[in-house]
A and B are shown apart, each in its own frame.
Chain A
């Protein structure tokens, strides 16, 4: 019984433990240069030193700030335009094709242009992340709005709902699972774009730290930074899933 209950957590810890052990083992074999392939202990030391000097906090602060700002702008635009294009035929005709023409361009591809326009400061990075987040959010919102059955709208109207109430009490709640799916995809894209934009030039940031550690051959710091980036991405995604769970409880299969 107890063994059964422990099962999933146990496996997760065991898998992590095995990976780290294997890593430690391989690094101790001494086949690879310890500076290029540092042991987990050394990576952990590098991480602690980055915490100790405070640089990790500064880098994390800048990276997260870019993510949050870019994500907010991109998702607000995505939801707004998605509702408009999903509801208003004229709007879709007018903007739909332009948006679809821009969509296949990977946000990473416009990094140089964004740098040219906005410099290597914060605005270029926020712009790029917003650009990347916008498309999945717009598309899923649009599809969700399109999916609303006309009978829901009709029922609400005959119960006395105004146009505004149709939007806030029918369209948006129904579309919520779609929006949340789009937002979650957007979070993933935001991290990819963050990495690309920090590699292209920055003054601070987690990936920026990784890239300058490369210049001084500090593989331990590079790996520590990458692991930290992984932890950040994972935590943001988990946090998002947990905080949106309540909103889409109705949608989950029982």
Chain B
């Protein structure tokens, strides 16, 4: 597998606060990588710098070996609070990316309705975000990003605000959406079970400034419940004994 996304020697500072220091992460094409780490260690900062939203003081981001300096359509983003556009309806939120590139109205309608169906949002097309439940907002957010066909998706604790059952449902939606699309994913989560369930690799981060404590590969096909428990223990141990 070829390298899809590379975070190289990344350092990020807010004023005087060093939040990320010399971070290196390499993600292969189609891989699903999770970042776990304690609160405030710099996970969101890593995501925002990778997406090109904030400028690092040092280091680069490469997509397909090409350096990127600003946000690009090839890298989609999903924030913790979904950040749906409150002035747009469900339909228009999902259609946002398509409309930017003047796709024909018929085509837009067809594609958006496909997503609305698969996200089980039928009948809510004309609702505004404030009229939706958290789980529904999340699905709109996922659809808005995925419909734009990004090659990489960065997710910052996308399911953090959901209750347990909704979270399980959303994880299934995500798996279904990514399905055969071969999208590369970098997921930030504080839920270790979620990381084990969804990813091929878990990157465990230290306290601020974030450095890599360990990288744990996961063979989703072969992994046993026992292995899962062991991995869980190992991650907990790393996080608790750090610093």
Using C-beta atoms within 8 Å of the partner chain, give the interface range for chain B: 20 to 34
In the bound complex, do residue A159 and residue B75 qualify as a contact, i.e. CB atoms below 8 Å apart?
A: no
- Let me know if A154 is at the binding interface, CB within 8 A: yes
- Choice from B52, B70, B86, B100 contacting A159 with Cβ under 8 Å: B100
The segment out of B2-10, B30-38, B77-85 that lies at the interface is B77-85
In the bound complex, do residue B83 and residue A152 qualify as a contact, i.e. CB atoms below 8 Å apart?
A: yes
In the bound complex, do residue B148 and residue A254 qualify as a contact, i.e. CB atoms below 8 Å apart?
A: no
Closest-by-CB residue of A relative to B79 is A151
A158-B75, A159-B148 in contact; A254/B130 too (CB < 8 A)? yes
A150 CA to B81 CA, complexed, in Å: 13
- Let me know if B76 is at the binding interface, CB within 8 A: yes
- Let me know if B144 is at the binding interface, CB within 8 A: yes
A155 CA to B86 CA, complexed, in Å: 13
The segment out of A64-72, A170-178, A211-219, A237-245 that lies at the interface is A170-178
In the bound complex, do residue A155 and residue B100 qualify as a contact, i.e. CB atoms below 8 Å apart?
A: no
A176 CA to B88 CA, complexed, in Å: 13
Dominant SS among interface residues on chain A: helix
- Choice from B73, B85, B87, B97 contacting A176 with Cβ under 8 Å: B87
A181 CA to B52 CA, complexed, in Å: 35
A156: chain B residues at CB < 8 Å are 96
A159 CA to B51 CA, complexed, in Å: 11
Closest-by-CB residue of A relative to B101 is A160
- Let me know if B131 is at the binding interface, CB within 8 A: yes
In the bound complex, do residue B87 and residue A250 qualify as a contact, i.e. CB atoms below 8 Å apart?
A: yes
- Let me know if A15 is at the binding interface, CB within 8 A: no
In the bound complex, do residue B85 and residue A152 qualify as a contact, i.e. CB atoms below 8 Å apart?
A: yes
In the bound complex, do residue A154 and residue B77 qualify as a contact, i.e. CB atoms below 8 Å apart?
A: yes
- Let me know if A13 is at the binding interface, CB within 8 A: no
Q: Looking at the assembled complex, report how far the CB atom of A225 sits from the nearest CB atom of chain B, in whole angstroms.
A: 42
A251: chain B residues at CB < 8 Å are 86-87
A188 CA to B163 CA, complexed, in Å: 48
B75: chain A residues at CB < 8 Å are 158
Count of A interface residues, CB-CB < 8 Å? 23
A165-B100, A250-B128, A254-B130 in contact; A158/B77 too (CB < 8 A)? yes
A151-B79, A254-B130, A254-B131 in contact; A158/B73 too (CB < 8 A)? yes
A251 CA to B88 CA, complexed, in Å: 10
B128: chain A residues at CB < 8 Å are 249-250
**Most chain-B Cβ atoms within 10 A of its Cβ — which of A165, A173, A250?**
A250
Closest-by-CB residue of B relative to A162 is B100
Q: Looking at the assembled complex, report how far the CB atom of A213 sits from the nearest CB atom of chain B, in whole angstroms.
A: 48
A-side interface residues toward B, CB under 8 Å? 149-152, 154-162, 165, 169-170, 173-174, 176, 249-251, 254
26 residue pairs A–B, Cβ–Cβ below 8 Å: A149-B83, A150-B53, A151-B79, A154-B48, A154-B77, A155-B77, A155-B83, A155-B144, A157-B71, A158-B73, A159-B73, A159-B145, A160-B100, A160-B101, A160-B148, A161-B100, A165-B100, A170-B85, A174-B85, A174-B87, A176-B87, A249-B128, A250-B87, A250-B88, A250-B128, A251-B86
Which A-B residue pairs are the 6 nearest by beta carbons?
Answer: A159-B97, A157-B71, A151-B83, A160-B73, A250-B87, A158-B71
